[in-house]
Amino acid sequence: MNAAVDLVTLVKAKAKTLNFSLIGICRAEYSPECHDHLLRWLENGYHGRLAYMARNPRLRSDPRLLMAGAKSAIVVGLNYYREPEYNPQNPYLSIYGRSHPYQEIIRAKLHELLEYIKTLMPDVRGKIAVDTSPTFDRMWAQKAGLGWLGKNTLLINKNLGSFVFLGELFLDIELTPDQPSANHCAGCSRCLDACPTKALVAPFILDATKCISYLTIVSDSPIDNLSLIGNNVLGCDLCQLVCPYNKTAVKADDFISPNNMPGNLPGKEEMINYSEFEFNNRFAGTIIADYGFKRFAENARAVHHNLHRASGAE
What length does the chain have?
314
From the list 36, 131, 224, 253, the catalytic residue is 131
Maximum CA extent, the chain: 72
Sign of CA dihedral 251, 141, 64, 117: positive
71 dihedral zone (left: phi>0; alpha: psi -120 to 50; beta): alpha
| 131 in active site | yes
How far is it, in rounded angstroms, from Cα 251 to Cα 79? 8
How far is it, in rounded angstroms, from Cα 171 to Cα 110? 12
- Which stretch of DSSP H or E encloses residue 298? helix 293-310
Report DSSP letters for 117-177, one per residue.
HHHHSTT--EEEE-SSSSS-HHHHHHHTTS-EE-TTSSEEBTTTBT-EEEEEEEESS--PP
CA angle 206, 210, 215 (to 5 degrees): 120
How far is it, in rounded angstroms, from Cα 112 to Cα 109? 5
Q: Count how many Cα atoms sit within 13 Å of the Cα of residue 50 in the half-sphere of its side chain.
A: 21
- Which stretch of DSSP H or E encloses residue 22? strand 22-27
Catalytic amino acids? 131
